[in-house]
Amino acid sequence: MERCSRYRGDGEGCFGVVWRIKDKYCWLRTSSTSAVGMVADSSLHSALVDQGDMNPLDTKCGMDDLSSHSLDSNPGIGYKVQCDKSISGYDDCFSGYASCEVSPYMGFYHATSLLQCLEYCVKEHPLCRGVSYNPGLEIGFANCWPKTGFTQSALLDSSTMHTLTITSLDRIDSSCPTETTYDAKGDKAFAIQCGKVNAGTNITSVHMSNVTSCIDLCATSNNGCTGITFDSELTSGYDNCYLQNTTQVISDQASGIFAELTGSSSPKPTASNTSGGNGTNKKEASKAWIAGPVIGGIIGLALIAGAFIFLRRRKAKSGIVEAQKGEENPYEQPHHQQVYGQAGYAPPTQQHESYGQRSELGGVNVQEMGTGENGSAKYAQKGAHAHSEPQELA
């Protein structure tokens, strides 16, 4: 059912599933499926989407094409309306996704309006620069696609999609306090390190226009905050003030500022993290998502871990096969994966193995794809046709 909700189709999405218990085969069903056709079979389980959940929403753009606006919930964000357009590429494995799957199961967000789709975008890591929205659900239930960027050539004509592109963000004060300590609200003192970031655990992240307001938020919070990482260039997302409760590896980053509550008892890195010794960090990994910006040696560790996870997933899904290729899916474009919301943080410039290959599900062909024990399972696809002063962004 999870795969069904995230399936990106060529003309229609997934309307139901059939699960064969013995060999764990899964069929994704099209709109031709109905409860009327169900028969008793103890070897199968089935599920259909709730009636009406796949009905098209209002397909109008809702705003004047090429008009410019500011977001009501975040007035510092300016955006431009691109009616009947979609952004080709610039997809990513955003931190808000519960998991990151291969094509055609890459989608995640369902929105009921263009603006709701943009609200998802604003909260994402890495920095989201626009959204493409499919109100008619021709591509499936996951109809809101955050994007890490766009170019004029990447804006493609579409009869089923509308797009909003972020054109300006409020200007952030990038200056670092001249004093090495800051007396925050609540009579709490913080030691400040300019040009540094902390790879520790993030409790949450919010948007702040300067570092002292970020520190004050930590000082007055009741969630165990013992330090902050502040990103003045929004490289990791619009929510650039990271409240943290552990100190892990402090790394250089020009746009970063790290501040820690003096006398705090937050977990510190062991010898293996600080001096290259043989010590071992026994601290359990936090369940809170990690999104502090990290560079240097952490990138290498993230790549190794990412490669290991990728190979395990690929092995588990090694049985996924493509049958006879159909028409090219006009909704799918090659893009690169970046892993966020895990232990450590990869800068936006880092690119990992591409997980969004072009879908081959169009036309009248029947395709078989796998999720079974041996890596193989099936689905059937019927024939379908594709239908403050603002900071200007490049």
What pLDDT tens digit does each residue of the chain (394 aa) get?
999 999 999 899 999 999 999 999 999 999 988 888 788 999 999 999 998 999 999 999 999 999 999 999 999 999 999 999 999 999 999 999 999 999 999 999 999 999 999 999 999 999 999 999 999 999 999 999 999 999 999 999 999 999 999 999 999 999 999 999 999 998 999 999 999 999 999 999 999 999 999 999 999 999 999 999 999 999 899 999 999 999 989 999 999 999 999 986 555 543 333 333 333 333 333 222 223 333 334 444 444 455 554 554 444 443 333 333 333 333 333 333 333 333 333 333 333 333 333 322 222 222 333 343 333 323 333 333 333 444 455 4
Tokens of 145: 């696609």
Rounded CA-CA distance 211/232 in Å is 8
- Helix, strand, coil share (%) of the chain residues, nearest 5: 15, 25, 60
Task: Kindly report the backbone phi and psi dihedral angles of residue 357, in degrees, each rounded to the nearest multiple of 5, phi listed first.
Answer: -80, 160
Nearest to 95 by CA among 284, 334, 290, 245: 290
Structural domains of the chain ordered from first start: 181-270+284-295 (3.50.4.10)
Beta strands in the chain (DSSP E): 16-20, 25-29, 44-48, 68-71, 74-82, 85-87, 130-133, 144-147, 155-157, 162-170, 181-184, 188-198, 202-206, 227-231, 241-244, 250-261, 390-392
- Helix, coil or strand: residue 297: helix
User: Which candidate, 191, 185, 215, 221, places its Cα nearest to that of 203?
Assistant: 221
| Beta bridge pairs of residue 19 | 26, 45
Name the pTM for this structure. 0.69
